[in-house]
Amino acid sequence: MIQLYNTLTQRKEPLKTLEPGKVRMYVCGMTVYDFCHLGHARVLVAFDVITRYLRHSGYDVTYVRNITDVDDKILRRADENGEAFTALTERMIEAMHEDERSLGVIAPDQEPRATGHMDDMLRMIQTLIEKGFAYAADNGDVYFAVEQFNGYGKLSKKKLDDLIAGARVDVSEVKRSPADFALWKAAKSGEVSWPSPWGDGRPGWHIECSAMSTCCLGNTFDIHGGGPDLLFPHHENEIAQSEAATGQPFVNYWMHAGAVRVNKEKMSKSLGNFFTIREILEKYPAEVVRYFLVSSHYRSQVDYSEENLAEASSTLTRLYQALRGLTPAADVPETDYDARFQAAMDDDFNTAGANTVLHALASEINRLRRDGEEAEASRLAAVLVRLGGVLGLLQQDPEAYFQSGSGEGPSAEEIEQQIEARAEARRNRDFAEADRIRDTLAEQGVILDDSREGTSWRRA
């Protein structure tokens, strides 16, 4: 039985889906005005692993992740660039898909875009007005009347009174309560806009997720996820809008990933201390980045640093070393390792614990190979690849993993040539020459591994 931590109840709960064997999950995706950063990668990878494991456990998962393709930041950036906002968003969506593929993130089943769901949003806003949960202000904005919704604050554990008293935002005169938030924003002259019963404008940020999630998955669905900073106000507002509009519970399980930090500070757009995924991929193989993310629990915060990535690289190398030169056996039935792996993953997707099983497998495989038990090693190699796959790891051919590099350094042919030259020197017991060749390659970032079968190489 899978247990998962529910932000709403603040504890782990057994997963009981609305429909047996079926999981409907919605995750807040990107606002596409810039390249994705490591924080996005964290969420992408976390929910990718969750989806993979749910499927591995036999669930039929419908995974929906939206794209916010119209919003203030997008319009401002497009304006700065002197381009149509759609040109900007198309470009960034393409880049985002590239980053996802690099990280081995499986595409969601549906990827709705805000601009494609205007009618749904307008319908929901209309319903909210009709039910008395929203009002059109004099300036053409439409606001959600927070005080009308019983239970506002139940996700973020905030009290409405505190929110109203502590409102730091400019208290707009058009709002009835400082805590009210915009469902629809009237367009200023020259701005991109859509027609509505309340005048031309565009949707507020929160309404799109309420509209798209209920649209794709129904009024009530199983899991809603997102980054840590979306908990409030975004998710809180989604609940208010959705439940007010449909009169039904919105989501059963709320899941939030932990923050990514850099130098003890949260990495964020506003602090300007973020690393984009593509920047990081220039320095480390994508699978190392993924391994780094997966080696700690999805809810804990992680610190990005050169040291941590280097360590992830060493550790992943150990796993691939175990698989190197082995052909995984076919159709290997479940083992104790599978059971241990599942026990860890069943406990709120404890990838760090599951990772231990991967290392236990690697150790056993290495011992078996030392003892010449290739057949059994091949069986466990298959298990290692299978379990690694649930985390989106170890799916490459080991040689390909070791030999792929930044494109710098000598070519594979040159390396093979040098290895042959070194072998010749060694046969002649000219170890000075052999070591010189090895040292030269090392300086070029190529490490040689000798074995009875010969010499293999990898890039550092």
Structure tokens at 130: 């009709």
The partner residues of 265 in beta bridges, in order of sequence, read: 262
Sequence letter at residue 50? I
CB of 303 to RNA, least distance (A): 6
Quick one: 52 or 235, whose CB is closer to RNA?
235
Alpha carbon 149 to its chain centroid, in Å, reads 32
Binds RNA (CB under 7 A): choice among 59, 85, 184, 205: 205
Q: Choose one: 76-84, 194-202, 385-393, 426-434; the region binding RNA (CB under 7 A).
A: 426-434
Residue 34's SS3 state is coil
Residues 17-46 that bind RNA (CB under 7 A): 28, 30-31, 37, 39-40, 42-43
Quick one: 83 or 229, whose CB is closer to RNA?
229
Does 438 interact with RNA (rule: CB under 7 A)? yes
CB of 216 to RNA, least distance (A): 18
Would you say how long the chain is, in residues?
460
Quick one: 135 or 205, whose CB is closer to RNA?
205
Structure tokens at 184: 């629809």
Structure tokens at 263: 């130098």
Are 105 and 48 spatial neighbours (Cβ–Cβ below 8 Å)?
yes
Residues 65-84 that bind RNA (CB under 7 A): 72-73
Q: Report d(CA 195, CA 122) in Å as an integer.
A: 10
Residue 354's SS3 state is helix
Residues 298-327 that bind RNA (CB under 7 A): 300-303, 307-308, 311, 314-315, 317-318, 321-322
Binds RNA (CB under 7 A): choice among 57, 172, 296, 396: 296
Does 450 interact with RNA (rule: CB under 7 A)? yes
Sequence letter at residue 266? K
Quick one: 110 or 126, whose CB is closer to RNA?
110
**Residue 359 main-chain phi, psi, to 5 deg:** -70, -35
Vertex 186: Cα angle to 182 and 191 (nearest 5): 125
- The count of residues interacting with RNA (CB under 7 A) is 85
The partner residues of 23 in beta bridges, in order of sequence, read: 61
Residues 243-262 that bind RNA (CB under 7 A): 257, 259-261
Residues 83-142 that bind RNA (CB under 7 A): none
Quick one: 31 or 148, whose CB is closer to RNA?
31
Are 177 and 197 spatial neighbours (Cβ–Cβ below 8 Å)?
no
Binds RNA (CB under 7 A): choice among 58, 270, 408, 427: 270
Binds RNA (CB under 7 A): choice among 16, 76, 157, 283: 157
Does 234 interact with RNA (rule: CB under 7 A)? yes
Quick one: 130 or 424, whose CB is closer to RNA?
424
* Helix, strand, coil abundance in the chain, percent, nearest 5: 50, 15, 35
Q: Report d(CA 333, CA 164) in Å as an integer.
A: 59
Does 449 interact with RNA (rule: CB under 7 A)? yes
Structure tokens at 204: 């507020």
Quick one: 19 or 347, whose CB is closer to RNA?
347
Q: Report d(CA 383, CA 329) in Å as an integer.
A: 9
CB of 60 to RNA, least distance (A): 25
Does 448 interact with RNA (rule: CB under 7 A)? yes
Does 202 interact with RNA (rule: CB under 7 A)? no
